[in-house]
Amino acid sequence: MYNLFISIQFIGIIFLIFELVYIILQRPTEFHGLLTLSTVSTLVNFVGYLFELTSTTKEEALLAVKFIYLGKPFIALSIFLFVAKFCKVKLSGWLKGAMILLHLSIFFFVLTCEHHTIFYSSIDFTTDGLFPHLILGHGVLYILYYGILAIYLILLSYMCIHNYHKTTSAIHKKQLNCLMHMICSTAIGFALYLSGCTQGYDCTAPAYLIATIFLTLSITKYKLFDTISLAKENAMDTFSEGLMVFDNEGDLLYNNSTAQQIFPSLQTGQYSEDMIQLKKLSDCNLSLHRNERIYDVTHRDIIRKNISYGTMYILHDMTDTYNYTDRLKKDVAEKTKEVISIQHSVIASFANMIEARDDVTGLHIKNTSEYVKIVARALKEEGKYTDILTVQYLEYVIQAAPLHDIGKISIPDYVLKKADRLTNEEFEIIKTHPVVGAKIIDETLAGLEDDEYVNITRDVALYHHEKWDGNGYPKGLKGEEIPLCARIMAIADVYDALRSKRSYKEGFSKEKSKDIIWESSGSHFDPEIVATFMNHIEEIERVVD
């Protein structure tokens, strides 16, 4: 039996050395520190107890006991702190400090046990039993120490059981199951030792070894470290970005210094509201604006072999890129506005030159553009054609108006400037100018502005001579087949022609011009537009004057 005990100690020491090496190679975290402390303390306890088993004198055995207590008090402490953290039980700083001080005091009183009876009331040595060993009387602190260990075991059991029923994560349940087996083996070892049935053998040592085996199982098979290590594999080794790692319950496992700078609440533990905001931004693919900086927010699920271990959030500082892009957009917008302004000026000048060939002053362009503006806005105010007359559409129609007769550039002077009535052949030549105008617009404006503007300008040029009853040209469209912009342009073009002086006629009066427009309602013009036109005739006449 003695040789069995010695073998257990040697096996335990070897096993603990391997486990310690494995833990040291993992990524440093608070979990890592507590596991290291627990393993080192257990290893010291095993080495010390091996010395005690091989002692032949009281002095050697007592020295071995002192060496044992260099680690023994801190095994229970580190296990308690580890399980509390794993189960997300928050312990205040002063409570942790008091616990550490208590266990240091136990080591101190064991170290000086020959000089007082606080921990051991008596110290004797016997060669009876399975092997020579010390017979130690139990002092007040000894009883208090084992009472504290009993409290630890009760609290640890409660924490594990409570979390086991609370969690929905399968991997978390398996990890807790290992921890509960670890606690049970420790409790059985203490109970057997305190009962005295082991004939002097401290069975807490193999109990700690069994606990260590369960802990190793949790580390290796159930990936106790993997939530952090997998996060490391999925991110850069040096985190210039903010990084936060959460488990499946939404509790924070890790955050780097960059994340703490962005969210100081991470250091105080009061981060729930910040994390709710972060999740919303990530889900909606929105940027985080914080401390005058702008961060791109992304999240990744930490998954290995179809098992979810948690989620990590990465915050990438994109302030400089964002500001550069914003400035670039503004610069492009300004340059585009300049180009459009120049383009409109050139187009207007071009249109004026064409009108001049027709022996018409630039007032025709100015007047018709104003008429179009008045009528189009009035139609919108009266609630007509609301599905078409958007603010942008109105603007484009007004801009398109000067180009309605741009196709006249192809008409020969002898036809364009003829003072007498045109022959049928000459009128057929005049009727080609809408088609030519549309072709010029397609070739010169396409690509310079958006499609809607080009289409409206093209429709104004091509269809402004179409008539409501279908007797117009060049396509013979009727009713609402004619684009709205062309129907507005048509009445503006005709009214200005009626009121203006030409080489072949004098300008008609306001009343005669109005009569002609009224008579053409339903035949030449859209009746809705005619009604609106007449409702605003005084405003239109102010343009003529």
- pLDDT for the residue 405: 86
pLDDT in tens, 425-463: 989 998 999 999 999 888 877 665 568 888 999 999 999
Q: Strand pairing partners for 311? A: 246, 301
**DSSP H helices in 382-481:** 391-400, 413-416, 424-430, 433-445, 451-463
Mean of the pLDDT values across residues 298-310?
80
Closest CA to 529 of 485, 497, 463, 474: 485
Distances in Å between the Cα of 223 and the Cα atoms of 231, 241, 479 are 13, 26, 76
Portion of the chain with pLDDT greater than 70, in percent: 83
Mean of the pLDDT values across residues 223-229?
52
Pick from 48-52, 61-65, 266-270, 489-493: least confident: 266-270
pLDDT in tens, 351-364: 666 655 555 545 77
Pairing of strands 307-317, 293-304: antiparallel
Spatial contact of 358 and 417, defined as CB atoms under 8 Å apart: yes
Residue 106 has pLDDT above 90, yes or no: yes
pTM equals 0.45
In the chain, the domains with their CATH numbers are 2-224 (1.20.1070.10), 241-317 (3.30.450.20), 327-544 (1.10.3210.10)
For 384, list phi and psi in degrees, rounded to 5. Answer: -95, 140
- What pLDDT band is residue 6 in, cutting at 50, 70 and 90? confident
Mean of the pLDDT values across residues 507-520?
92
Average pLDDT of every residue of the chain: 82
Mean of the pLDDT values across residues 383-404?
89
Pick from 107-111, 158-162, 358-362: least confident: 358-362
> Could you give the 3-state DSSP secondary structure of residue 329?
helix
Rounded to whole angstroms, how far apart are CA atoms 162 and 251? 16
Residue 401: Cβ-neighbour burial (10 angstroms; 0-12, 13-18, 19+)? buried
What lies within 8 Å, CB to CB, of 5 at 6+ separation is 53, 130, 131, 201
- pLDDT for the residue 450: 64
- What pLDDT band is residue 377 in, cutting at 50, 70 and 90? very high
pLDDT in tens, 455-472: 999 999 999 999 999 999
pLDDT in tens, 71-95: 888 888 888 888 888 787 888 889 9
Closest CA to 247 of 197, 315, 309: 309
